């Protein structure tokens, strides 16, 4: 946890915060913080700054906060992701949030198992916890948005063209010789399929929506590996790579 994320209901007044949950435990047990220590804090969907511990006891931690810095800039990326298996989804969502992705669409595909859609991971509260974990790692405050689309063809044909309008549209796909772009600086819409990739008909539907298929080379990567690899390749200038 590299930032203590605050919520509106944590505030007693404009600059005083009380923490009584897992954040209190983290500050005491992991950070080993004491009275008058300064911590990096940020208000969800707002500024970043610092919080100075004014009181600490078994009931909670009181912070005097000053939030006057802007969070890191988001990536100009919309991620369209065929729903992976639940354990993998947790890691992918957290990594995407850490990397600065703010728009994520979870979509269906022929190779997506129906049981995946019943996973409790897709509960809004659980998704929020995963996103917050990613933000805490990155010292970010701006919550990504996740949209769930269970019908592939209606989404790609009717909604995706507007979502991806005026952006570079690419589909990561192992069965192509087109190399993935490198170090770009423009709004991008990236579609990534399930394990095994999108089937041919789905690729054709994406191409009709303006998405060009690209590849990372001959090695076939798991989705949880492919997502950060492609993002770091596309936006290497954002990460000073």
The CATH number of whichever domain residue 55 belongs to comes to 2.40.240.20
The answer to pTM > 0.85 is yes
pLDDT in tens, 144-157: 999 999 999 999 99
pLDDT at 55: 94
Quote the CA–CA distance of 12 and 99 in Å, as a whole number: 32
- Within this chain, do residues 56 and 104 fall inside the same structural domain, yes or no? no
Whether residue 141 has pLDDT greater than 90: yes
* Number of domains the chain is built from: 2
Rg (CA), the chain: 20
Q: Are residues 97 and 167 in the same domain?
A: yes
Answer yes or no: do 205 and 106 share one domain: yes
Question: Are 115 and 217 in the same domain?
Answer: yes
Provide, rounded to the nearest whole percent, the portion of the chain with pLDDT above 70: 100
| pLDDT at 241 exceeding the cut of 70 | no
Residues 100 and 212 in one domain: yes
Strand order in the sheet with 212-214: 145-149, 103-107, 77-82, 188-192, 168-172, 212-214
E-strand stretches of 31-119: 38-43, 48-57, 60-69, 77-82, 103-107
- Which of 45, 69, 93 is the endpoint of a domain? 69
The per-residue pLDDT of the chain, averaged, comes to: 94
Higher pLDDT, 142 or 223: 142
pLDDT > 90: what percent of the chain? 88
Q: Which domain holds residue 147?
A: 77-238
Q: For 64-111, what is each residue's pLDDT tens digit?
A: 999 999 999 999 999 999 999 999 999 999 999 999 999 999 999 999
CA neighbor of 211 nearest in space, from 169, 181, 158: 169
**Same domain assignment for residues 183 and 220:** yes
Summarize pLDDT for 70-82 with one digit per residue, the tens: 999 999 999 999 9
* Nearest C-alpha neighbor of 142 from the set 34, 32, 3: 3
Residue at which a domain ends, from 48, 69, 90: 69
pLDDT at 195: 86
Co-location of 128 and 211 in the same domain: yes
User: Same structural domain for residues 57 and 86?
Assistant: no
- Are residues 46 and 68 in contact, defined by beta-carbon separation less than 8 angstroms? no
**39 and 148 housed in the same domain:** no
């Amino acid at each position: 946890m590299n930032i203590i994320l605050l919520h509106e209901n944590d505030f007693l007044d404009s600059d005083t915060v009380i923490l009584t949950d897992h954040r209190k435990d983290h500050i005491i047990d992991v950070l080993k913080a004491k009275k008058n220590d300064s911590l990096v804090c940020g208000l969800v969907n707002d500024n970043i700054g610092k919080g100075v511990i004014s009181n600490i006891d078994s009931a909670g931690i009181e912070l005097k906060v000053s939030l006057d810095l802007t969070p890191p800039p988001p990536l100009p990326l919309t991620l369209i992701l065929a729903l992976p298996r639940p354990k993998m989804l947790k890691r992918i969502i957290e990594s995407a949030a850490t990397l600065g992705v703010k728009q994520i669409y979870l979509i269906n595909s022929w190779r997506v198992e129906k049981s995946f859609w019943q996973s409790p991971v897709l509960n809004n509260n659980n998704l929020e916890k995963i996103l917050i974990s990613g933000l805490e790692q990155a010292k970010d405050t701006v919550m990504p948005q996740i949209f769930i689309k269970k019908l592939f063809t209606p989404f790609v044909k009717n909604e995706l063209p507007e979502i991806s309008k005026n952006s570079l549209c690419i589909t990561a796909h192992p069965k192509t010789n087109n190399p993935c772009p490198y170090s770009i600086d423009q709004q991008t819409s990236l579609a990534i399929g399930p394990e095994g990739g999108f089937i041919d008909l789905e690729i054709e539907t994406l191409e009709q929506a303006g998405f060009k298929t690209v590849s990372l080379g001959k090695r076939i990567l798991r989705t949880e590996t492919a997502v950060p690899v492609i993002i770091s390749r596309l936006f290497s200038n954002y990460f000073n790579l």
